[in-house]
């Protein structure tokens, strides 16, 4: 799949709509099913709600498919979604329209269904690209320590300082996702910059490329050690 990946997986925060004001970048907004599910779950928790419970069962069926294809490549995931998830989404869409017409839009279940309908196009975007996840739970788990620290972040001192803190935090979490020690990574990259690393090769020290480079160095060192030992 060689199509440039310009999709962003988000919750329903309205501020993200600014991304759509960049037509030259062709950004698409995929919305999180965990947030859609949460709306129904809250209704089901607070009262007897057969409509919400049925919606939760249908969403659970989609998640079971996702669990089966977790870790597979984008093409394989897309093929399975087209075969198994698309029919379930069609049933869910019919269910959604039928019940929105029956319940009060201002009732708790009405509000939950309205949320899902509002973000429908973004919710089903995962059916068109195997690289898109159904939800952004992995990201939310990753940024939880940062969210817990947000009160401290109120005292960044300056907008530029807060932006720089955000960049560093993103690099650190990306290092963790790629199995790279953040301290070692930042030390290495900052040293390379000081020593004149070319701006035209800015992609080389990104965490995922750095991890590959480290693996190659380790393999080379192991071969060299083996040769010296013999």
Q: What is the 3-state secondary structure (H, E, C) of 147-191?
A: HHCHHHHCCCCCHHHHHHHHHHHHHHHHHHHCCCCHHHHHHHHHH
User: What's the confidence (pLDDT) of residue 223?
Assistant: 31
Closest Cα to residue 14, out of 2, 36, 29? 29
Domain boundaries, the chain: 7-135, 182-230
**Do 99 and 113 form a contact (C-beta atoms < 8 A)?**
yes
CA distances from 209 to 81, 174, 197, 206 (A): 30, 11, 15, 5
User: What's the confidence (pLDDT) of residue 159?
Assistant: 78
The per-residue pLDDT string of the chain (230 residues; one tens digit each, 9 = 90 and over) reads: 444 455 555 555 555 556 555 565 567 788 889 999 999 999 999 888 999 999 999 999 999 999 999 989 999 999 999 999 999 999 999 999 999 999 999 999 999 999 999 999 999 999 999 999 998 877 777 767 666 666 666 666 677 877 888 888 888 888 988 889 999 999 998 998 899 988 888 888 888 888 766 655 543 333 333 344 44
Token pair belonging to 172: 């650190």
Token pair belonging to 118: 């509002």
User: What's the confidence (pLDDT) of residue 204?
Assistant: 86
User: What's the confidence (pLDDT) of residue 80?
Assistant: 97
User: What's the confidence (pLDDT) of residue 209?
Assistant: 87
**Do 11 and 39 form a contact (C-beta atoms < 8 A)?**
no
Closest Cα to residue 92, out of 128, 56, 41? 56
User: What's the confidence (pLDDT) of residue 158?
Assistant: 75
User: What's the confidence (pLDDT) of residue 228?
Assistant: 41
Tell me the β-bridge partners of 31.
10
- In terms of phi and psi (left: phi > 0; alpha: psi -120 to 50; beta: otherwise), the region of 157 is left
**Do 51 and 103 form a contact (C-beta atoms < 8 A)?**
yes
Q: Using a cut of 0.85, tell me whether the model's pTM lies above it.
A: no
86 contact partners, CB below 8 Å, separation of at least 6: 127
CA angle 76, 11, 84 (to 5 degrees): 30
Closest Cα to residue 188, out of 209, 164, 160? 209
Token pair belonging to 19: 């991304």
Give me the helix-helix angle, 50-69 and 33-46, nearest 10°.
140
Half-sphere exposure of residue 161: CA atoms within 13 angstroms, side-chain side: 7
User: What's the confidence (pLDDT) of residue 230?
Assistant: 47
């Amino acid at each position: 799949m060689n199509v440039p990946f310009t999709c962003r997986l988000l919750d329903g925060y309205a501020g993200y709509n600014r991304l759509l004001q960049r037509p030259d970048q062709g950004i698409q907004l995929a919305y999180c099913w965990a947030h859609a599910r949460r709306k129904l779950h809250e209704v089901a928790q607070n009262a007897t709600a057969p409509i919400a419970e049925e919606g939760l069962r249908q969403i659970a069926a989609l998640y079971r498919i996702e669990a089966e294809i977790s870790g597979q490549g984008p093409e394989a995931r897309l093929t399975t979604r087209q075969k198994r998830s698309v029919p379930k989404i069609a049933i869910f869409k019919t269910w959604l329209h039928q019940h929105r017409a029956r319940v009060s839009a201002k009732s708790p279940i009405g509000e939950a269904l309205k949320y899902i309908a509002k973000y429908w196009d973004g919710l089903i975007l995962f059916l068109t690209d195997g690289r898109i996840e159904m939800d952004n739970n992995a990201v939310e788990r990753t940024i939880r320590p940062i969210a817990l620290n947000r009160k401290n972040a109120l005292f960044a001192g300056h907008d530029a300082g807060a932006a720089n803190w955000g960049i560093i935090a993103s690099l650190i979490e990306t290092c963790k996702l790629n199995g790279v020690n953040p301290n070692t990574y930042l030390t290495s990259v900052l040293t390379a910059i000081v020593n004149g690393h070319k701006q035209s090769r800015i992609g080389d020290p990104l965490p995922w490329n750095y991890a590959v480079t480290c693996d190659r160095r380790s393999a080379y060192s192991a071969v060299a050690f083996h040769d010296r030992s013999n």
